[in-house]
Each structure stands twice: as structure tokens, then as C-alpha cells.
Amino acid sequence: MKQSGSMKQSISFDRIADRYDETRGGDRRGQQMATEIDPYLGAGPRVLEVGVGTGVVATGLATLGRTVVGVDISGDMLARAHDRLGSRVARADAHSLPVPPLAVDAAYLVWVLHLVGDPAAVVAECARVLRPGGRLVVIAGRVRAKYGDMQPQQDALDTLRDDRPDTAEATTEWGVAAGLRLVAQRELDESHEATPAQFADVLEQRVFSYIWDLDDQTWAKVVQPAIDGLRALPDPTEPRRVVQQRDLLVFEK
């Protein structure tokens, strides 16, 4: 999907839809995220997820009594979301939501703004469809992570990532420009267990978008040494606790 003008291309996860859940935490992570954002969505029944992916967060919210509709640009990801959510999902571009103005009570964006062509326009679209008093919850920003003895390998991989546009400061500016008011902000902690061997396997499968199309020279210089280093760690099949931090921002219209 190409965006117009000089806008960058949005990223679709079609190519790894079959592996996305197993390499990103699946239902466990979706439930964890749903529990974090649910208190900020307000009491209204009409909730929209922009970038619904495989539907794990919306499914988590369903266990908390929410009914969520979701959109995504990836047809293959939506096929998996449909298995979870049925007809409450649709294929659509976040820059042009198929939703009337003032139609939803709350919306949320989880791990999305760094993937779209124009994040400011996406925030503005979310603002357009919110009713007065409606809430927009955004999980944004580069992950700040603690990987234990896997940290050197993660630090090396981080040199391959572009600077993310969706900092807390930038996201706040986009929200304000769209007529929203920042009403809450905090640091969100996530934790999970991972083994060095699993981390190495995931890298070899190229499931992270920043290494999908990496050239052979860079792979040999950066990624392969990280893989080898992970497998060379003591007890590479023993789980390590990984702690990740992001920014949670809540806007109100």
C-alpha cells in the first residue's frame, strides 16, 4: 500500500501473519495489554481498534466485557482476527477510516503509529471518528528493554532500527493538533520470558520488520553475530526475564 506524495509506505504484516502470534506473545500478551488499557477507554460501548492485527488485544478486551470492532490493512492478519472476532473486523487504511464522524466512544492504537505512513494523519482520523468526550488510547514510542545477559545482542540489533517518529512528545503534538486533550500519560511495563535460543530462532526467521529486507552484508556484520552470540550464552535454553517499557498516552476529545 503506497501513500501519496512523499509519505512513507505503511507496513503490512501479511508476510509474517502465520508466525505473528507465536513470536509476539499471542493471547497472553493481548490479555496483558487489554488489562492495561481498559481503565482508560471510558464507559461507552462503541470501541474501535485501529491496526487490529490478529485480534489479540480486542479478544482480551472481550473478556473484560468490551465489544471491539477493528480495522487493519493486512488481509492475512485480518483472517486470523476474523477467527477470533468474527465479522467485527474490516480491511481499511488507518489514514481513511470507514467510520462516520462522531461514531465511536473510544479508540486505541497499540504498536501501530510507527508502522503507518503518516502518524499525524492517523491520529487526526481517530479524532474525527470520536464523539465529544471520547477517548483515544495510544501505546507509542521505542521500546526501552532490559534483556539481562542478552542485552549486548539486543543493543547491536538496535543499531539497525530507524528512529521512531512516535515519541511521547510527538504523539502529544499530533493529538493536540487534532483537537484532543492529553488527560493521562504513564510508562507501561511489559514482561515475558524468553530464551537466547528462542531469540536466535526468531531472528533467523526474520519476523521483525526492521530485518525483513536487510542486505547480506549487514546481516553478516550485525545479525549473524547476534545470533551466534545468543546461542553461545550459558544455558541458552533457560528462560530469561525480559522487561519492556513503552509510553501509554490517553487523549480526550
Residues in the chain: 253
Confidence of residue 23 (pLDDT cuts 50, 70, 90): low
Question: Helix 119-129 and helix 168-177: axis angle, to 10°?
Answer: 50
Which residue, among 9, 35, 40, 13, has the nearest Cα to 24 in the 3D structure?
13
Q: How confident is the model at residue 27, as a pLDDT?
A: 79
Q: How confident is the model at residue 16, as a pLDDT?
A: 65
Backbone angles phi, psi at 215, to 5 degrees: -70, 160
Q: What is the mean pLDDT of the chain?
A: 91
Distances (CA, A) of 51 to 4, 48, 207, 215: 20, 9, 18, 28
What's the first-to-final CA gap in the chain, in angstroms?
30
pLDDT at 206 over 70: yes
Q: What topology does CATH give the domain 14-143+163-192+243-252?
A: Rossmann fold (3.40.50)
124-142 pLDDT per residue, tens = 999 999 999 999 999 998 8
pLDDT at 3 over 50: no
Confidence of residue 21 (pLDDT cuts 50, 70, 90): low
52-71 pLDDT per residue, tens = 999 999 999 999 999 999 99
Domain boundaries, the chain: 14-143+163-192+243-252
The DSSP letter of residue 40 is G
